[in-house]
């Protein structure tokens, strides 16, 4: 893909989510204020072009380390949460100071996955962010690290940024990191590795290229960024990974200059309506194992899941809970909201609708997971 094609994909975007990783903001002492000022300057110039911006920012722990003189290096979760409590206010001070130079007001928005599980609260968060943007205020969004635990937290701010794209109705996600983009191999291990300027499909093979190493200063490494790219492109929104300390990187990206890796959006988005909420906020309560016929129907035909295609289940769940669907080899096929509880579902596994009607005396048999309540990312159905 040439420069012109980059411009075709990015040039018309009017609302951006910019995710700023800890590795961009962190310095040896904790936090680099000059980088925040550089980013604020670029965002101000984007605003002058009529482009709305939402920022998802890491850095609370790094700011806490700086505030305490660099003496504490956290090793435990309580220590990290305590540093986040110290640093979150300090992080916002940096942003407020930087943006005030350009006459821009910012607002702090702290989210947890648990706080967005209820659809009503999710809608409230969306309305708040939309109102801030309408008022010309830049939302600065972070996970509420002080109260988040493994059970209720987002995997990292890469996962959070995907959710914010939906909350903000954004049309481009830019992830700023300490690397130039996605490479064919780890450039730290192989100097001959080549950067991929365009990725058309975030396949399992692309995900595997990232390995499993975390980021230098935060929880999210390249793998989490690619998982985010898979989700956001499935919603029809392109994503760019670029080096955040590169001068005027945001301005160059918006101009369509190929300075990072561009992930192309699906031509026919499969994440729409409430599906981003299902994919990003709901914690699965169980697992359904499917036969090959059910997998084909879901991935290639876009069908709902019926009892006849389920071979076994794991976990205890209620109607309305989220579950994961896997094939017989353990590969994740889909996630969705289930219409049956686990106790009743066990009694009808593998049965056809007419057999269930005769067994339970029901005239109509609800799907196990309706396709409107299902998120399918691995298959070819778009």
Known binding-site positions: 19, 58, 145, 157, 177-178
The residues, any chain, with a CB within 8 Å of residue 299's CB and separated by 6 or more, are 333, 376, 378, 379, 380, 381
Q: How far is CA 92 from the centre of its chain?
A: 22
- Quote the CA–CA distance of 218 and 159 in Å, as a whole number: 13
Q: What angle do CA 272, 226, 77 make, to 5 degrees?
A: 100
Residue with tokens 């690619």: 226
Contact (Cβ atoms closer than 8 angstroms) between residue 382 and residue 267: yes
Write down the residue that tokens 């010309």 correspond to: 136
Annotated binding site for substrate: 58, 145, 157
311: Cβ contacts below 8 Å, ≥ 6 apart: 289, 290, 291, 328, 349, 350
Residue 160, token pair as written in the block:
């959070």
Rounded Cα distance between 235 and 139, Å, is: 22
Q: How far apart are CA 53 and CA 39, in angstroms?
A: 11
| DSSP string for residues in 186-254 | -TTT-TT--B-SEES---HHHHHTT-SPPPSSSS--HHHHHHHHHHHHHTT--EEEEETTSTTHHHHHH
Q: Mark the binding-site residues for ATP, compressed into ranges.
A: 19, 177-178
Between the alpha carbon of residue 19 and those of residues 142, 354, 381, the distances in Å are 10, 51, 29
Do the beta carbons of residue 24 and residue 179 sit within 8 Å? Answer: no
- Cβ 350 vs Cβ 307: under 8 Å: yes
The gap between the terminal CA atoms of the chain, to the nearest Å, is 23
């Amino acid at each position: 893909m040439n420069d012109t094609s980059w411009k075709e994909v990015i040039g018309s975007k009017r609302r951006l989510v910019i995710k700023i990783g800890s590795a961009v903001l962190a310095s040896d002492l904790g936090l680099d204020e000059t980088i925040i000022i550089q980013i604020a300057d670029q965002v101000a110039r984007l605003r002058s072009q009529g482009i709305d911006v939402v920022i998802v920012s890491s850095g609370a722990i790094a700011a806490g380390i700086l505030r305490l003189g660099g003496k504490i290096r956290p090793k435990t979760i309580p220590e990290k949460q305590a540093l986040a409590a110290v640093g979150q206010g300090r992080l916002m001070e940096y942003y407020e100071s930087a943006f005030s130079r350009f006459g821009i007001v910012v607002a702090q928005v702290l989210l947890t996955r648990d706080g967005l599980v209820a659809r009503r609260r999710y809608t409230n968060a969306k309305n708040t962010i939309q109102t801030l943007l309408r008022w010309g205020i830049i939302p600065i969004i972070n996970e509420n690290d002080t109260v988040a635990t493994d059970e209720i937290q987002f995997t990292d701010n890469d996962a959070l940024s995907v959710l914010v794209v939906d909350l903000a109705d954004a049309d481009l996600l830019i992830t700023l990191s300490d690397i130039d983009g996605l490479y064919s191999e780890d450039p730290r291990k192989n100097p001959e590795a080549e950067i991929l300027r365009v990725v058309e499909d975030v396949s399992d093979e692309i995900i595997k290229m990232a390995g499993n190493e975390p980021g230098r200063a935060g929880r999210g490494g390249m793998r989490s960024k690619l998982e985010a790219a898979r989700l956001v492109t499935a919603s029809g929104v392109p994503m760019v990974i670029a080096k955040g300390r590169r001068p005027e990187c945001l301005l160059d990206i918006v101009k369509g200059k190929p300075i990072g890796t561009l992930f192309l959006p699906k031509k026919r988005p499969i994440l729409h309506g409430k599906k981003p909420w299902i994919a990003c906020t709901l914690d699965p309560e169980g697992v359904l194992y499917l036969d090959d016929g059910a997998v084909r129907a879901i991935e290639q035909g876009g069908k709902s899941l019926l009892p006849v295609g389920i071979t076994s289940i794991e976990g205890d769940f209620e109607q309305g809970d989220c579950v994961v669907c896997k094939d017989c080899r353990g590969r994740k096929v889909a996630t969705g909201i289930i219409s049956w509880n686990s106790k009743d579902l066990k009694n009808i596994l593998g049965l056809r609708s007419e057999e269930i009607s005769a067994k339970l005396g029901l005239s109509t048999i609800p799907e196990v997971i309706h396709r409107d309540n299902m998120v399918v990312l691995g298959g070819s159905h778009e």
